Structure 1
Amino acid sequence: MKKHLLALLVAGPLALGLSGCVISVDSDGWDGHTVDWEDREYKNRKVIAELELDLGTQQVKDRLGVPDFNETLRRDGETYTVLFYRTQRMHGDGKTTKDECTPLVFKNGALVGWGDTALNRI
Structure 2
Amino acid sequence: MAATAGEVHRRIIELYGAGRIDEGLALVDPGVIDHRGGSDGDHHGLAAWREKWKRALSGGTGFHDMSVTVEQNISTDDLSTNVYLSRGTHTASGRRYEVRGMDMIRVRDGRIVEHWAIRDSVAMRHQLGLDQ
* Global fold match (TM > 0.5): no
TM-score, normalised via structure 1 length:
0.31
More RCO (CA 8 Å, sep 6+):
2
Greater share of strand residues, 1 or 2?
A: 2
Instruction: Choose 1 or 2 for highest CA Rg.
Output: 1
Greater share of helix residues, 1 or 2?
A: 1
TM-score, normalised via structure 2 length:
0.29
